[in-house]
Amino acid sequence: MIYLTRRERFSAAHRMFRPDFSDEKNAEIYGLCSNPGWHGHNYELFVTVKGEMNRELGYVINLKKLKKIIQEYVIEPLDHKNINTQVDFMKGRQASTESIAIAVWEVLEPQIRKEGVELHCVKITETENNYIEYYG
């Protein structure tokens, strides 16, 4: 089994809050990420797939194809957008890194399966110090 990871980047705005909480309570729970005026992060997305190497072609998945899938289904919808209000696959979810990782998994998994490999992990870094890994 071979594991292959592709990194992509996106920048996006978000706000962590619950509409049923006051601004004060949101600030207490979510800290700076709850700023009502929004703020952004430069996210990094690592998509790891696993499969056997195609012995004739010498690869697990065509990297150009993998890049295209991630770009089309994840990066274009997210990049330079407001995650709370402008991203269809984030509707009804908290704009947390955890939620983004789960949503990205759900969007990518069927596309990657079509290529004959399995999605193994979606890792997203929100800052240099924090990252989420989701294994489905």
Shortest spacing between CB 91 and Ni ion, in angstroms: 19
Alpha-carbon span 51 to 121, nearest angstrom? 13
The structure tokens listed for 35 are 């700023």
Half-sphere exposure of 89 (CA within 13 A, CB side): 17
Can 33 be counted among the known catalytic residues? yes
DSSP-based three-state secondary structure for 118: strand
- # of chain residues touching Ni ion (CB under 5 A): 1
* CA distances, 96 to each of 40, 80, 119 (Å): 12, 16, 21
- Residue 124 near Ni ion by CB under 5 A: no
- Residue 60 near Ni ion by CB under 5 A: no
Nearer to Ni ion among residue 5 and residue 11 (C-beta): 11
- Residue 33 near Ni ion by CB under 5 A: yes
Which one of the listed residues 52, 72, 80, 106 is annotated catalytic? Answer: 80
List interacting residues with Ni ion (CB under 5 A).
Answer: 33
Catalytic residues: 33, 80, 126
